Amino acid sequence: MSKNEPLILILVIPLLLVQGIWLYIDAKKRGTYAWAWGILGLIQFPSPLLLYYLFIIRRDKRRQG
């Protein structure tokens, strides 16, 4: 284990947690697959955010106006 690995983990773990929690909460509000988005958000960064924006948020904006 190199000297930088603990620092990287300290930065990445909270980032993944925040992303997963935010995706779960927002997906639940929008009535989509909250658990799936939350788990996907815990696995990698930033792909789930980009996919969520493209397939969920933009779709909802188009429906509204």
Reported as a single tens digit per residue, the pLDDT across 5-60 is 999 999 999 999 999 999 999 999 999 999 999 999 999 999 999 999 999 999 99
pTM, full prediction: 0.88
Q: Which domain range does residue 59 map to?
A: 4-64
Q: What is the pLDDT of residue 2?
A: 86
40/16 Cα distance (integer angstroms): 10
7/65: higher pLDDT: 7
Q: For 3, phi and psi rounded to 5 degrees?
A: -65, -30
Return the SS3 of 55: helix
Name the domain count of the chain: 1
The rounded distance, in Å, linking the Cα atoms of 24 and 40 is 9
